[in-house]
Structure 1
Amino acid sequence: MNILSIDTSTRGCSVAVHTDGQLLASYDLLTERVSSSLLTTLMKNAVEQAGLTLSSLDAVAVAKGPGSYTGLRVSVSTAKGLCYALDKPLIGVETLTAMAAQLTPFYPENFLFCPMIDARRMEVFAAVLDTKLEKVLPTQAVILEADSFAELLQNQPIVFFGDGAAKSRSLLGGHPNAYFPDQLIEPSARNVGTLATEAYVQGRFEDLPSFEPYYLKDFVGK
């Protein structure tokens, strides 16, 4: 199966093409402004680099949020338009789950993962997942305080990452069970594509007419 994946949840554009779960091509472009024309160009380049055509795609996957209102609106509308034009199914992947998938292979099984997307001031969009990408705490808007995640931190180590994690580091960085990667972990279509492959096999597709981004809140500008 050939899957084109898109992620513009935060800043920039990320596009990837997978065949049967194997990554064939990807582009990650960091920019403060995401446009449909820029995204379309990256999609076209990735599909061509993979040696495919748009008509040979079996599905289109998109990171559905939470994240930037503008970015999500651009990627979801682009993905839906492509699915309508090609008569292909759409797969939605939650952004925070895809972010966690970047790190789970590199930590022991007792670790938890808390991807964070900056939502302005001391607020973040966050969830807590285990190494199997099962939710321990659901996706929610969190106003960070000194006792945030205190109960979980008592029992298990947690990796905090994403562009919202810097704000939590100032509050939680001294806790022995709080871990912060040195490198910024950005959302990536590469991981969206990996999870989308599983969804495709299981037949988990979105209802194209009614599908909307998972904004979580009314508006977050980035």
Structure 2
Amino acid sequence: MLLLCIDTSIRGCSVAVQNDSGLLASYDLFTDKSSSAMLTTLMRDAVEHAGFKLADIDAIVVAKGPGSYTGLRVGVSTAKGLCYALDKPLIAINTLQAMALQLAPYYPGHLLCPMIDARRMEVYSAVFDDNNAFVQETQAVILTESSFEDLLANHRVVFFGDGAAKCKPVLEKHANAVFPAIDIKPSAKTVALLGALAFANAQFEDVAAFEPYYLKDFMSPAPRKASTLVQ
């Protein structure tokens, strides 16, 4: 098994190469610019650093979202293009589930709530236990003081990701709310771990039909109204 793994859920990109022995190579580039410009270069460098060629890859693994509309579109279209060009299967992984896997070893007995920033006081989130099983499914949440109150009543909950910055002022006074100081971003490294499990179980996508998990329809800014000319 040799997997090329891609995560472009937020601005920037993350790439990893994984085989049966573990992680062989990874690159992360998080900037304010779009991921599209550097993604191809990072993929090539990661595969070469691992000692292989693209033709050696057995499957392409992509973080399907939720996240940035533009970022997801770039990542998924790139992954699908590679699948067509190399005649390889496609594996798609929930971005939030892969994020939760980053912190699970460090917070035994806690619930994990990765958050990706959406608009205004809204985040994309899900909740997982420390075995990476869903406790609360992926959803768009408008943050209020009552958000997650049912879980916080009985569990320590770790909130992290770029959306947690909006959550902290609202929930940080709750005794069971935990906000790590470290900045956790989506990473192809944990996408790769989940991808390896999916590959072993032949959980492949229909390449032609597959679309990113946007969760919400894309909304472009409202066009400006044309000024009225006084006759």
TM-score (norm 1): 0.97
**Residues 22-65 of structure 1: CA distance to partner in whole angstroms, max 9, x if unpaired?**
11110000112224342111100000000011010010000000
CA distance in 2, matches of 1:177, 1:11: 31
**Aligned to 2:65, what secondary structure does the other structure show?**
coil
- Alignment of 1:163 onto 2:157: no
CA distance in 2, matches of 1:145, 1:92: 31
**Aligned counterpart, 2:223:** none
CA distance in 2, matches of 1:124, 1:93: 19
Contact 2:140 2:215 in 1 (8 A): yes
CA distance in 2, matches of 1:5, 1:153: 34
CA distance in 2, matches of 1:21, 1:94: 23
Contact 1:8 1:34 in 2 (8 A): no
Contact 2:60 2:90 in 1 (8 A): yes
Q: 1:181 to 1:122 in 2, by over 3 A?
A: same
Distance apart, 1:74 and its partner CA: 0.3
CA distance in 1, matches of 2:219, 2:51: 37
Q: 1:171 to 1:35 in 2, by over 3 A?
A: closer
Contact 1:67 1:220 in 2 (8 A): no
**Aligned counterpart, 2:130:** 131
**Aligned counterpart, 1:97:** 97
**Residues 145-189 of structure 1: CA distance to partner in whole angstroms, max 9, x if unpaired?**
001000110101000000000111101101111000101100000
CA distance in 2, matches of 1:14, 1:220: 25
Contact 1:68 1:220 in 2 (8 A): no
CA distance in 2, matches of 1:34, 1:43: 16
CA distance in 1, matches of 2:175, 2:35: 42
Contact 1:69 1:220 in 2 (8 A): no
Spell out the pairing of 1:65-144 with structure 2 (5 A cutoff).
65-108=65-108, 110-144=109-143
Contact 2:96 2:115 in 1 (8 A): yes
Structure 1: state its 5+ residue gaps: none
Q: Which amino acid aligns with 1:17?
A: V
Contact 1:99 1:191 in 2 (8 A): yes
How many pairs were matched up?
220
Q: Which segments of structure 1 move beyond 4 Å, counting only runs of 4 or more? A: none
Contact 2:111 2:156 in 1 (8 A): yes
CA distance in 2, matches of 1:77, 1:184: 27
| Alignment root-mean-square deviation, CA | 1.1
Structure 2: state its 5+ residue gaps: 221-231
- Tell me which of the two structures has the higher relative contact order, counting C-alpha pairs closer than 8 angstroms and 6 or more residues apart: 1
Contact 2:110 2:155 in 1 (8 A): yes
Spell out the pairing of 1:1-222 with structure 2 (5 A cutoff).
1-20=1-20, 22-108=22-108, 110-219=109-218
Q: Which amino acid aligns with 2:135?
A: V
Contact 2:8 2:35 in 1 (8 A): no
Contact 1:119 1:220 in 2 (8 A): no
Q: Which amino acid aligns with 2:92?
A: G
Larger radius of gyration: 2
**Aligned to 1:115, what secondary structure does the other structure show?**
strand
Deviates more, 1:140-149 or 1:20-29: 20-29
CA distance in 2, matches of 1:136, 1:181: 20
CA distance in 2, matches of 1:120, 1:209: 30
